[in-house]
Structure 1
Amino acid sequence: MTDVNVQRLAGLSPEARAALVRRSEADLSGFLEKVAPIIEAVRTEGDAALIRFGREFDGAEGLTESTLKATEADFDAAFDAVAPEVIEAIRFGIGNIRAFHEEQAPEPMWLKEIRPGAFAGDRFTPIESVALYVPRGKGSFPSVTMMTSVPGVVAGVPDLAIVTPPGPDGKVDAATLVAARIAGVETVYKVGGAQAVAAVAFGTGTVKKAHKIVGPGSPWVVAAKRLLAGVIDPGLPAGPSESIILADASVHGGLAAMDLLIEAEHGPDSSAWLVTDSERVVEQALAALPELWARMSPLRVEFSRAVLGGSAGGIVLAASMADACAFVNEYAPEHLEILSREPFEYLGEIRNAAEILMGPHTPVSIANFALGPNAVLPTSMGAQTYGPLSVTDFLRRSSIGYVTAKGYPEMARAAGILAEYEGFSSHAIAVSDLRRTYLKE
C-alpha cells in the first residue's frame, strides 16, 4: 500500500469536493505581495535589476549586462553540447507541431456578401511582438520552446523573443537554444520568473518591450502576469501542471498509475488525479505505484509523492462513469486522458478540458513532445473558457466592412432608424439624405 490520497466521490461534502478542484495558484495573495517590488525594481532599474535577481534567485553569479542575451556563439555551442538523438527528436516534434499549426492557421482574410452590395469579413495580421516564457526551475523544457515558438513563427510574428531563467553558470539550457533555432527564433534572453514578465512588459536596456507574453510558469510568473495585465497582454492562464486520468474498467490500473505520474512529477505544486468507477482499477493502480517509483529518479519520486499524497492529487473513486465525467467537467483539467478501450464512448460527456487524449496509446508524454497539438494549455479551471495556445493567439483579428452604392440605401435606412431610437444624432445624420448630397458633389 502506498501513501496516496484516495477519495470516494459520493461521500464527500460540498466543501470537501470543492477542495479537490482547488489548484495551487488559486490564492496568489502571498505571491502578489512578493512580486510587486520585483516588478517595480525592473521598471525603475532595468538591466541592473535583472542581473541582481538572476544572481539572487537563479544563482547565476556570472550573469552580466553583456551576457543577458544569448549570442550566436551560444546557439552554436548548444548544438555541440546536445546529443544527436535529442536534436533529432526535437526536429521530429517541431515538424509535427508545425504541420498541425499550419493546418490550424486561418485564411488571412475572408469577405462575405451579407446583403446585396454589402460585404463583411475578417482580416488576420500577426501581433508585432510576443515574448515566449520557457520555465526552468524544476527541469529543462525545450518542449515548451517548441510549443510556443512554432505557432508564433507560423503566424508570422516579426519579433519573437524567448525569456528563460539562466542556470548557475549564467547560460541558457542548451536544448532550449537548439529548439529555438530549429523552430525559427534567434532572440533569447537569460531572465526568468516575475522579473522576466516585468522586463518584457516595460522593456530594459537589453530586453525589448513586447505586446504579449505566452507560456506556462510558476505562481510567481502567474502573479506577475496578473499584476501587469494592464501593461502587457498576459495570454491564457498557464500555471503549474495538472491532469486527470479518466479510466474505466476496460484498462489495467497499472496503466492508469503510469500515466497519473506524468504530470505529478513536474513539481509539488502540480495537480494529478486518477478518476475511475472501478475498485479494481484503484487497487491495481495503488499496487503498481511502488514499482513505478522504483524506476524513477529520486527528485521526480519526491515531487510525485508530494502531489499524490497531498490535497491536489491522488485517486477519486466515483459511483459511475457518468459521475466521473461530471467531476472532470467540474475540475476543467489542463490535460485529460480518457483511458478506455472505447474512449469515444465518453467524449460526448466531456465539456471542460483543454486537451483530451483518447485511448491507451495516447499518453500525455506523446502529446507533450511529439504529436502536434499545442501542449501550452490553460490551468486552474481556465479550460472553462480558454483553449490551447494556437496560431490565433499570435494574430490580431480586424473586422472588414465594405458597402457599395448598391448596398447603401438598405443599410442606411436600418442604421438610421436605430440611431434615432438610441438618441445618437450624429449617427443618424451620417446616414441621412445629407450624405447623398455630399456624395453627389
Structure 2
Amino acid sequence: MELKIISAEQFRLERATFHTNADEPHFDKSVLEIIDTVRKEGDSGIRQLTQQFDGVDVAELTVTMEEFAVASQQVEQDFVKAIRQAEENITAFHRCQVEQSWFTESQPGIVLGQKVTPIEKVGIYVPGGKASYPSTVLMNAIPAKLAGVKSISISTPPGPDGSVSPYVLVAASMLGINRIYKIGGAQAIAALAYGTETVEKVDKIVGPGNAYVARAKKWVYGDVAIDMIAGPSEICIVADETANPKFVAADLLSQAEHDEEASTYCITASPTIAKNIAFEVQHQLKEFERKDIAQASIRNKGRIIVVKNEQEAFEIVNMIAPEHLQLMINNPTDKVMNIHHAGAIFIGNYSPEPLGDYFAGPNHTLPTNGTARFSSPLGVYDFVKRSSIIHYSKKALMDASESIACLAETEGLHGHANSIRIRKENEYAK
C-alpha cells in the first residue's frame, strides 16, 4: 500500500469531510452503559466489564507490593538507566512551568492577588493493549507532582494473565506512585470519576486512551475535570530538498505504528521529494515490525500533500493544527513564527518526533483532532487551581462605592448596590 500523493486542493476537499472515530456518537450507548454499571455495581461491575472486554478475571483490582517487587526484577538495567535520564529531562523542563501565588498593592488599601493551589487527587490513565507506555507515566505524573498534587492514582488495562506491564510499574515506583488499578477502558474512567469500594474518586483525570476512553472522559467531564479528549496520534512533516527521504519515511512510520487511525501527513513543494518519500515508506514497511497497523494507518490517514510553495505549506499546517509537527526544511528556526497551530514543533532533521515522546523534556500529551487551535500540551498548569484574592480597606471601598453601586443598578441588581451602600451609610460603624 503506497502513501498517497495528492495536491493541496485535493487535501482541502478531503479535509472538509474529515472526522475521527473518537467523535462518533455511536460509541455513546456502550460508554454510558459502562459508566452506569460502574456507578451502580462498583468493584463487581468492574470485574464483570474486565472479563467482558479484556477476557481477564481480575480478583484483586489493585497492584500489590509483591507485584512491584517482581517487576523491579523483570526489567533490564538499560531501561532503568534510560527512564531515569528521561525523568531528569522531563522534570527539568516542567519545573520551569511551576506557578507561584502572587499579591500586589495596586493602590493604598487595595491588595489583589492570585492564590495557586494544587488539585488534591489526580487519576492517570495509562493505555495498554497494543503496547506498554511507561513514558505516559512520566509525562503525566511528573507535572502533577511538581504542581504539588498529593494523591496520584494510575489505572491501566491488565494483560492476558491479569498482570500490569513491569515497565509501567517500575516507572510509577520511581516516582513514588504505588496506587495502581488493573482497570482499562471506559470502566477505568468511570471508576476514577465516581469511585468504588476499591478505587478512590479523583478530582481530575488525565492521560490518553482509545475512542472509548476519550468518549468516557467527555461524559464524566463536569463531575470531574479532564485534561483533553485525545484522538489517534498525528504527525505532519514539512519537507524540502534539504530533508532526507529515509528520515521522513521513518518518522511518518513512527506514528503510523501507534494505531490504524493515526494520521501521517507530509507536505512538500517538490514532486520529486514526494515520490522519493513515498518510495521510502513502502520500502521500510517491508521489514516493519508493526507492519499491519502501520499499513492500515497509511491507507486510512496517510497523505503526501504537494503544495505550490512554502507559504502554502504553512497554510496547510495551520489548517491541520497537528499534534506533532516536524520542520525538515532549510532554516527552520527562522520560520517557526509561521506556525500558529501545533501541539509540539520539532525543528530540523535531527529532532524527530520520538525525541519528544520519550526524552527531550516537553510533554508528549498533546492536543489532537485540530484542537491545537485552542489548547496546549499537558503541563504543571493543568494540575493547579487559581483563586483570586481581593482585599479593600474601609477607605478604599468608600472611595469606589458610588461607581460599584452605579454598575450594579445599571444591571438591575439593587441588592448588589445595597451591599455596598449599607457600608457607606454605616461608615463610622465598626
For 2:277, the equivalent position in structure 1 comes to 285
TM-superposition CA deviations, 1:184-228 (whole Å, max 9, x none): 322110001000011111111111111110111100101111222
1:155 aligns with 2:147: yes
The percentage of counterpart residues that share the same residue type is 35
1:176 aligns with 2:168: yes
Q: Secondary structure at the match of 1:426?
A: helix
For 1:7, the equivalent position in structure 2 comes to 6
TM-score by length of 2: 0.96
Structure 2: tracts of 5 or more residues without a match: none
Correspondent of 1:350 among 339, 364, 369 = 339
1:269 aligns with 2:261: yes
Correspondent of 1:403 among 384, 389, 392 = 392
Q: Give the Cα–Cα distance (whole angstroms) in 2 for the partners of residues 122 and 276 of structure 1.
A: 47
Q: Is the 8 Å Cα contact of residues 145 and 176 (structure 1) preserved in structure 2?
A: yes
Amino acid at match of 2:426: T
Amino acid at match of 1:193: G
**Cα distance change, pair 93–438 in 1 and its aligned pair in 2 (3 A):** same
Q: Secondary structure at the match of 2:22?
A: coil
Q: Give the Cα–Cα distance (whole angstroms) in 2 for the partners of residues 69 and 186 of structure 1.
A: 9
Amino acid at match of 1:16: E
Q: Give the Cα–Cα distance (whole angstroms) in 2 for the partners of residues 16 and 118 of structure 1.
A: 56
TM-superposition CA deviations, 1:5-33 (whole Å, max 9, x none): 22111345x542324x533423x211112
Where do 1:48-197 residues align within 5 Å? Answer: 48-61=44-57, 63-64=58-59, 67-107=60-100, 109-197=101-189
Q: Give the Cα–Cα distance (whole angstroms) in 2 for the partners of residues 11 and 381 of structure 1.
A: 19
Q: Give the Cα–Cα distance (whole angstroms) in 2 for the partners of residues 244 and 234 of structure 1.
A: 26
Q: Is the 8 Å Cα contact of residues 85 and 359 (structure 2) preserved in structure 1?
A: yes
Farther-moved stretch of structure 1 (422-431 vs 128-137) = 422-431
Farther-moved stretch of structure 1 (144-153 vs 179-188) = 179-188
TM-superposition CA deviations, 1:231-265 (whole Å, max 9, x none): 22222122221111122222122221111111111
Correspondent of 1:309 among 295, 299, 304 = 299
Q: Is the 8 Å Cα contact of residues 118 and 407 (structure 1) preserved in structure 2?
A: yes
Q: Is the 8 Å Cα contact of residues 264 and 270 (structure 1) preserved in structure 2?
A: yes
For these two proteins, the number of residue pairs brought into alignment is 430
For 1:369, the equivalent position in structure 2 comes to 358
TM-score by length of 1: 0.93
Q: Is the 8 Å Cα contact of residues 258 and 292 (structure 1) preserved in structure 2?
A: yes
CA drift at 1:293: 2.1
CA drift at 1:53: 1.8
Q: Secondary structure at the match of 2:159?
A: coil
For 2:323, the equivalent position in structure 1 comes to 334
Q: Is the 8 Å Cα contact of residues 264 and 308 (structure 1) preserved in structure 2?
A: yes
1:384 aligns with 2:384: no
Q: Give the Cα–Cα distance (whole angstroms) in 2 for the partners of residues 262 and 121 of structure 1.
A: 46
Q: Is the 8 Å Cα contact of residues 20 and 231 (structure 2) preserved in structure 1?
A: no
Q: Give the Cα–Cα distance (whole angstroms) in 2 for the partners of residues 397 and 330 of structure 1.
A: 33
Farther-moved stretch of structure 1 (166-175 vs 333-342) = 333-342
Q: Give the Cα–Cα distance (whole angstroms) in 2 for the partners of residues 244 and 83 of structure 1.
A: 33
Q: Is the 8 Å Cα contact of residues 277 and 320 (structure 1) preserved in structure 2?
A: yes
Amino acid at match of 1:76: A
CA drift at 1:433: 5.7
Q: Is the 8 Å Cα contact of residues 24 and 270 (structure 1) preserved in structure 2?
A: no
**Cα distance change, pair 211–11 in 1 and its aligned pair in 2 (3 A):** closer
Q: Give the Cα–Cα distance (whole angstroms) in 2 for the partners of residues 404 and 340 of structure 1.
A: 59
Q: Is the 8 Å Cα contact of residues 23 and 271 (structure 1) preserved in structure 2?
A: no
CA drift at 1:274: 1.1
CA drift at 1:407: 2.8
CA drift at 1:436: 5.8
Q: Is the 8 Å Cα contact of residues 233 and 258 (structure 2) preserved in structure 1?
A: yes
Q: Is the 8 Å Cα contact of residues 244 and 272 (structure 1) preserved in structure 2?
A: yes
**Cα distance change, pair 439–149 in 1 and its aligned pair in 2 (3 A):** farther
Q: Is the 8 Å Cα contact of residues 149 and 184 (structure 1) preserved in structure 2?
A: no
Q: Give the Cα–Cα distance (whole angstroms) in 2 for the partners of residues 391 and 35 of structure 1.
A: 30
Q: Secondary structure at the match of 1:78?
A: helix
Structure 1: tracts of 5 or more residues without a match: none
For 1:421, the equivalent position in structure 2 comes to 410
Q: Is the 8 Å Cα contact of residues 401 and 424 (structure 2) preserved in structure 1?
A: no
For 1:219, the equivalent position in structure 2 comes to 211
Q: Give the Cα–Cα distance (whole angstroms) in 2 for the partners of residues 128 and 439 of structure 1.
A: 43
Q: Is the 8 Å Cα contact of residues 164 and 182 (structure 2) preserved in structure 1?
A: yes
Correspondent of 1:255 among 243, 247, 251 = 247
TM-superposition CA deviations, 1:18-54 (whole Å, max 9, x none): 24x533423x211112212111111111111111222
Q: Give the Cα–Cα distance (whole angstroms) in 2 for the partners of residues 341 and 184 of structure 1.
A: 44
Q: Give the Cα–Cα distance (whole angstroms) in 2 for the partners of residues 87 and 41 of structure 1.
A: 39
Amino acid at match of 2:97: Q
**Cα distance change, pair 141–384 in 1 and its aligned pair in 2 (3 A):** same
Amino acid at match of 1:4: L
Amino acid at match of 2:20: R
